[in-house]
Structure 1
Amino acid sequence: MDEELLALLAGHKLGVLVTLKRDGRPQLSNVNYTYDSARRLIRISVTADRAKTRNLLRDPRASFHVRSEDGWAWTVAEGDAELTPVAADPQDETVEELIDVFRAIQGEHPDWDEYRAAMVADRRLVVRLGVQHAYGQPQR
């Protein structure tokens, strides 16, 4: 895989997740994300009741688009998504991973107990998208 294309993923926190609707058409969602270059893994916090989540439960194939600030460089990463269980308890493994995702995107939260409770109340989970293929236009 072209490391220059993957470097664009590592340099940003906002991208577009593309899932497939029941009729096969794409459904696009702007999302905050974190990218682990060592594991080639994109992680996104989502709620259980959103279209993107339902789409991925039905069909795990997904694409992820990110672009440079000027729009000339871009990467599309493709892979099959894995979804964690929905957060059910403030101390469960899903909430721990949601904390990791939050920290990677925004840093420390002012009240982790409040955050943990909100993750359960919101019925959040983590989408893990392993990058199996990438294409695009690298930075010059």
Structure 2
Amino acid sequence: MAEILSRITSASSELHAVNNTHDERYDSQTRDLVAYIKNCDKDLDTQYLLDNLHPAQHTLPYLLILNLHIDNLQRRTKEGLPDEIKPGNDLWVKVAYFLKHFDPIQVRYAGHEWRHLIELFGQAAEVTAK
């Protein structure tokens, strides 16, 4: 798990270094990072990764892993809206923190995952408010 974390943080940190350089290089490295994360074992320890990635610095991998974590949770609990994502629970806090500190440039490479997270977060707030 530490090896995966190291590779993700290294690739994500490189994105910050090339952020001010040529867009094609940034795009290419970003697509490579997305492909690497999406091709990781679906049973990897997403909690460990979420606990060890900072959402402001590693926004893109954090978002992808957060979605994988939620998907695994939904599959395991057989619920579309698991209790863990509802207000007051640990995952809710992680999502709220992420939404306050994310890097919008990195998020543009994961529009589907971004939308999924926002919709789920909104549903959780709505269900709890009723």
So what's the TM-score if we normalise by structure 2?
A: 0.30
The two structures have a TM-score, normalised by structure 1, of: 0.28
* Between structures 1 and 2, the one with greater strand share: 1
Flag the structure with more relative contact order, 1 or 2, with Cα contacts below 8 A and sequence separation at least 6: 1
The structure richer in helix per residue is 2
